[in-house]
Structure 1
Amino acid sequence: MAILTMSRQFGSGIRKIRQRIATTLNYAYVDKESILNEIRTRGGKWEQWAREFDQTSPSIWEKHDWSFKGFAAILQSVLLSHALRDNVILAGRGSNFLLEGIPHAYRIRFIAPMDQRIERIAEWKSVDRKTAALIAKETDRDRAGFINAQYGKDLNDLRNYDAIYDTGKISADEIVTQVTEALLARDKLNTPEGQELLRMRAAAARIKSALITDPQLYVPTLDVESTESGLVLHGIVHNAKQYKLIEEAAQLLARKVPLTINLRFRA
């Protein structure tokens, strides 16, 4: 089946919509707790850092810290591993950017007028409207900063989505119908070629997250790129010993996937 990514403005009121879509199509929903449960298996402080960094705007120091880079790599790997299973709804966190160009992925964003968002937040949080407005603006700022730090992208650029749904203008029934129909149509695009493209992206993310979170390797500049001919590991190392350690670890992680090593020595 097709994959659904759902980005939303805080207070746009999509909880019941999401539940109805998941129930109608028998889709699994990957939310914050699902992600944290998988990150917990990494051990160490990764769950703690995930809770601290999730959907918050990191400071300039945090953005370049090993803990944030590691969390970002793990998060992307977890999201892509779930995407491989199909029949899934991925809750924001830049999943739309990870699945850009995947034919059977339907990437949507929910928005709503600020007045309606404030009203929902005030009721949900049991606060006055002024406080609710501050919460909405602060959350918008944090989430935009989080996406920019993770992907270098603009969360609010509507061109980054396949469709936009304004819950202030479209009824819940209409949204559920439209999204369900769109997913059924996307399912026809779920080809072996599309699956292979996704599989390679997931492999790249898996290898990157394993390497970048290994304290014995410590590579401050590292990326794994998915190409038509295989994976390419880019990075900067300090010496020949570090080069060999990373190369051996990467080849082991790659398993049967073709992997080109493109590491450079720091000048």
Structure 2
Amino acid sequence: MAILTLSREYRSGGREIGTAVAERMHYDYVGKERILADLRAQGGRWAAVLREVDEEGPTIWERFDWEYRGLMALVESTLYEFAMQDRVVLVGRGANFLLEGLPHVLRVRLTAPAERRAEWVMQKDGVDRDSAVRLIEKTDSERASFIRVNFRREWDDPTAYDMVFDTSARPFGEIADILCSALHERAARLTEEGRGRLRGRTIAARIKARIATDPAIRVPTLQASFDGRAILLQGVARRVADLDAIDEIVRATAEGIPVRNELRYRP
């Protein structure tokens, strides 16, 4: 059992390579549409919000908006839930940063020269070269900003990936073959300890999402993490009632994992 995360520059072959790997390995492919379907199934207007801001750099106002923070917490939780199923290809949305340090995860970056990608955009989208170049620059910039704001990391940092491919240098099918071989090797690295770390992170993200999407709770600086033994909650609550509500969510969600609640009350 292994997991593949794909970070990709716009029109660098992410969908084609990701779906090819998923088909050959019998993995689940999780891109934007799959996440939207999952959010729709959960109800509310979260799917509509994702369509508005997906992988775009938020404005200064959005960063501190309850709805945006709730959506990001929910998307992260959804990615973790898919990861817990194993045998999955997770495309974009910082999945490589969420799953960093897990031995059975293969984190891959796909790039290609802008001029080559412009040709692909012209072929696929039927636009002229100037429009293709502007679309590439805009989309790449938004994706980089999304990662910088939500993970405080650089999207194109090669040290954040196990493998980096220039997809203009070899056929997509050949890259898919290489990734399939690498995933077989990664599957052999899965251990109970690694599985336990993923479960801890998943439940921490689930707790955070349930708190962040509750319109009755306001914790603007909420953080939830797993250190290998316990889930750590940190942040500032504005009302005592919020702390009580969070305690109830933790009791209902932690599934036996110890939780260190370091949330502070500050009126």
Q: What whole-Å deviation, never above 9, does each CA across 1:186-226 have from its counterpart, x for those lacking one? A: 01101111111101000000000001110112221211110
Alpha carbons of 1:244 and 1:11: their partners in 2 closer, same or farther (altered >3 Å)?
same
* Higher deviation after alignment, 98-107 or 155-164: 155-164
Cα offset, 1:173, TM superposition:
3.6
Q: 1:134 matched to which residue of 2? A: 134
Percent identity, please: 39
Q: Distance in 1 between matches of 2:206 and 2:111?
A: 32
Q: 1:51 matched to which residue of 2? A: 51
TM-score normalized with structure 2 length: 0.96
Q: 2:101 matched to which residue of 1? A: 101
Q: 2:216 matched to which residue of 1? A: 216
Matched AA of 1:165: F
Q: 2:125 matched to which residue of 1? A: 125
Q: Distance in 1 between matches of 2:229 and 2:14?
A: 40
> How many residues of Structure 1 are paired with residues of Structure 2 in the alignment?
267
- Describe how 1:1-267 pairs up with structure 2 within 5 A: 1-266=1-266
Matched AA of 2:265: F
Cα offset, 1:245, TM superposition:
2.1
Cα offset, 1:227, TM superposition:
1.4
Would you say the 8 A contact 1:251–1:259 is kept in 2? Answer: no
Q: Distance in 1 between matches of 2:218 and 2:264?
A: 15
Q: Distance in 1 between matches of 2:22 and 2:61?
A: 39
Would you say the 8 A contact 2:112–2:168 is kept in 1? Answer: yes
SS at match of 1:10: coil
Cα offset, 1:239, TM superposition:
3.5
Q: Distance in 2 between matches of 1:148 and 1:65?
A: 17
Would you say the 8 A contact 2:218–2:237 is kept in 1? Answer: no
Matched AA of 2:2: A
Would you say the 8 A contact 2:6–2:14 is kept in 1? Answer: no
Alpha carbons of 1:52 and 1:172: their partners in 2 closer, same or farther (altered >3 Å)?
same
Q: Distance in 2 between matches of 1:248 and 1:15?
A: 41
Q: Distance in 1 between matches of 2:239 and 2:17?
A: 53
Cα offset, 1:252, TM superposition:
1.9
Q: Distance in 2 between matches of 1:248 and 1:220?
A: 19
* Higher deviation after alignment, 241-250 or 175-184: 241-250
Q: Distance in 2 between matches of 1:120 and 1:15?
A: 13
Q: What whole-Å deviation, never above 9, does each CA across 1:106-148 have from its counterpart, x for those lacking one? A: 0001101111100001111111001100000000111111111
Cα offset, 1:67, TM superposition:
0.9
* Higher deviation after alignment, 207-216 or 164-173: 164-173
SS at match of 2:42: coil
TM-score normalized with structure 1 length: 0.96
* Higher deviation after alignment, 223-232 or 190-199: 223-232
Would you say the 8 A contact 1:118–1:129 is kept in 2? Answer: yes
Matched AA of 1:240: V
Q: Distance in 1 between matches of 2:241 and 2:177?
A: 57
Would you say the 8 A contact 2:20–2:173 is kept in 1? Answer: no
Alpha carbons of 1:227 and 1:116: their partners in 2 closer, same or farther (altered >3 Å)?
same
